[in-house]
Amino acid sequence: MKGTSYLSFKVRLTVLLMAALVSTTFAGNFKNDMDITFGGARANILNGGQDLTLSLDQYSGSGFQSKHEYLFGRFDIQLKLVPGNSAGTVTTFYLSSQGAAHDEIDFEFLGNSSGNPYTIHTNVFAQGKGNKEQQFHLWFDPTAAFHTYTILWNSQRIIFLIDNIPIRVFSNNEASGVAFPKSQPMRVYASLWNADDWATQGGRVKTDWTKAPFTASYRNFNAIANMVVGGNQVPTSSGINDNQAWSSQGLDAAGRNRLRWVQSKHMIYNYCDDRNRFPNGLPTECKQSRFL
């Protein structure tokens, strides 16, 4: 009986995972929502603002940022990473405020030599302090097609999702003395740049410039969020699902099962497991459940 129940659970979980892989269509526009920040012609807004490409060569990378700042929200973007030998390159999608005591929520995609998987690097900064890294290998080829990457940020937690599958939760543990990003408005940023001193196998594999230019493609940016205008918060959405569900969203039982699956099968580094890095004891938040 126990075996049958377990098999049934695995079947249900597989169905849920497959359902979550269906990408949603959003209605953002890069021409209206974003400014190119560096790289000049290496950054291109295409198809009337529906698509954007970033390129990297031996002279420069490229990047963009949102025209507006936000305080909490759900931020989705579809991204297709640099194909082939992408060693040394870093493609990003993140939120950040400004200043030394800045807040930041990171998706970074660390390239690798042909045939090896990308490393998905996540981190959270609060009041200028980060060092909260978790890294993953994906269960699909992120260079073959577009996939949706999401940062959900509310006052209770931050959830990182890929194709609507949660891969990480960082909960608000201010009651235990852990800083949490909640008071500084942040812009959306994305970039493609060279980091071959550390990005691939700790810098052992360098960028092969004969493969340049390297190109990553973005589309379907969507922000359902509180936009900050003149110090005031204005609920806004560039998408088709204009609601405030994100403001209190956590994980239900299905979401916790998906998160367990990702972290047990695809996580390759978790700072909360790195006792060599923290010989005097793990950070306070590591004592909390990662599946909240």
Q: Residue 59: CB partners within 8 Å, gap ≥ 6?
A: none
Residue 235, CA distances (Å) to 34, 181, 242 in order: 18, 19, 9
* Mean pLDDT within 244-249: 87
Which is catalytic among the residues 69, 108, 133, 174? Answer: 108
Alpha-carbon gap, residue 88 to 198, rounded angstroms? 8
39-89 pLDDT, tens digit each? 999 999 999 999 999 999 999 999 999 999 999 999 999 999 999 999 999
- Asked if 69 is an active-site residue, the reply is no
**Given a cut of 90, is residue 193 above it in pLDDT?**
yes
CATH for 19-287 is 2.60.120.200
Each as own residue / partner, the long-range contacts of residues 280-286 (CB below 8 Å, 24 or more positions apart, any chain) are: 283/132, 283/178, 284/173, 284/176, 284/177, 284/178, 285/132, 285/170, 285/171, 285/173, 285/176, 285/178
Alpha-carbon gap, residue 160 to 122, rounded angstroms? 8
101-132 pLDDT, tens digit each? 999 999 999 998 877 889 999 999 999 999 99
**Given a cut of 60, is residue 228 above it in pLDDT?**
yes
Q: Band of the pLDDT at 24, cuts 50, 70, 90?
A: very low
Residue whose C-alpha is closest to residue 137's, from 265, 289, 238:
265
- Asked if 108 is an active-site residue, the reply is yes
**Given a cut of 50, is residue 16 above it in pLDDT?**
no
Cβ burial of 29 (10 Å; 0-12, 13-18, 19+) is middle
* Mean pLDDT within 152-169: 97
More confident residue, 131 or 22: 131
Which is catalytic among the residues 104, 133, 174, 285? Answer: 104
The whole-chain average pLDDT of the chain stands at: 87
**Given a cut of 60, is residue 196 above it in pLDDT?**
yes
Whole-prediction pTM: 0.87
Residue whose C-alpha is closest to residue 18's, from 136, 139, 109:
139
**Given a cut of 60, is residue 237 above it in pLDDT?**
no
Residue whose C-alpha is closest to residue 221's, from 26, 23, 20:
26
